[in-house]
Amino acid sequence: MATTEERNSTTVTWFIFVGFSEFPKLTVFLFSIFLGIYLMTVFWNLGLIVLIKMDSHLHTPMYYFLNKLAFLDMCYVSSTTPKMLSDFFQKQKSISIMGCAVQYFFFSCFGLSESCLLAAMAYDRYAAICSPLLYTVIMSPGVCLQILVGSLITGTFGSLVQLCGFLQLHFCGPNVINHFICDLPQLMMLSCSNTFFLQVITSVLTAIYGLTAVLIITVSYGYIIATILKISSAEGRSKAFNTCASHLTAVTLFYGSGTFVYLCPSSDDSLSQSKLASVVYTMVIPMLNPLIYSLRNKEIKDALSRLKKRIFP
């Protein structure tokens, strides 16, 4: 709740993004780069979704989750990038408080849902490698659907909790966000309300979502590594490892960049570095994920070959 003094002060109804205005000579170059990244992200993830849908050989739990990950990546990057691109040639990069709340809700919702889904994909790899004979039972279509719905509901709930906390904040100036998106740490720095409660909520949610997901991934891969080391043939070990390498790479990039953005100190010196890291977190990783899962994946390559033969017989 805002105090009487806060209510009597000037109320901010709009925020101004700094964006990348500190590089005025690079405006066209940066716009072209970010637009290219966005278009490639949408094209590659949409292509992966279509490929998985069209090829019956890829109708397995692993590719079911990969299909949904590609969809989340498209939604995730689309929650912030179009606004950022449109701001490049605006004299005043403004957004209303409600617009900021809506952007942050979807940005947080898709990000948290993806975190849950990455943990589910680690469990899927555990079931496939450690219990291959029971894999189809453990990861039945019904279970896969429940995991997906659970990830989306969990992500939406976490985002709603943060949104409710954000809507309780009062802003009386300044209203300049040194970022290109509405992110909660920067918004709390601008608030003239007491943000302690929201900081506690954010920390608790980070612990619940981040640490729980990391714990599931770590335990799953602990069992996976132990199982792989028991495989007698080098070819068998290599094949088992290759099924996990792509997911491990995606997890490392996702949590590595996220840790840098949200756990590094929020000093003036670190804001520019945090902004650059956010580009990786919000744009580059969603673009790379379909490549990470495709370049070393024989089944994806075979599916592409079959699709090519169908199109060009």
Q: What is the pLDDT of residue 1?
A: 43
Structure tokens at 139: 């990861």
Compute the mean pLDDT over every residue in the chain, rounded to the nearest whole number.
Answer: 87
Summarised one tens digit per residue, pLDDT across range 79-102 is 999 999 999 988 889 999 999 999
Give the highest mean pLDDT range of 68-82, 169-183, 194-208, 264-278: 68-82
Where are the chain's structural domains?
4-311
Summarised one tens digit per residue, pLDDT across range 25-56 is 889 999 999 999 999 999 999 999 999 999 99
Q: What is the pLDDT of residue 270?
A: 57
Place of tokens 């429940």: 146
Domain 4-311 in CATH 1.20.1070.10? The answer is yes
Distances (CA, A) of 6 to 172, 186, 241, 269, 303: 7, 19, 57, 29, 60
Q: What is the pLDDT of residue 5?
A: 46
Task: Please state, for a pLDDT cut of 70, what percent of the chain lies above it.
Answer: 92
Summarised one tens digit per residue, pLDDT across range 139-152 is 999 999 999 999 99
Provide the pLDDT confidence category of residue 271 given band limits of 50, 70 and 90: low
pLDDT of 103 > 60? The answer is yes
